[in-house]
Amino acid sequence: SENDIAETLRRRFATGGAWRGPVGNTQAMLQRELNDRWLPYIKREIGKVESTQALIDSSDEYERVAKSCNDEIRKRLK
């Protein structure tokens, strides 16, 4: 949920200090954190909603939406 994501970001960034190190190391540290922590986290969060999204993206759902509003949506999409 949005609250879980906000809490995860707060825990990571609100309590840590600035990154310091030799020239050129900070970019490598940031890239490592993105690759090792944040990209897998984002993929896990997306995975949590994929089955729900698949229900929304079904052909039956597209048909239902297209027929709504007295078929006005379908007429305007032609």
- Are 1 and 48 a contacting pair, CB within 8 Å? no
pTM assigned to the model: 0.57
Q: In this predicted model, what pLDDT tens digit does every residue of 6-50 receive, in sequence order?
A: 888 888 877 767 777 788 888 888 899 899 999 999 999 999 899
User: The tokens 């999204």 sit on which residue?
Assistant: 53
Around Cβ 11, how many Cβ atoms within 10 Å? 10
Token pair of 21, please?
């190190």
Write down the pLDDT at residue 16: 66
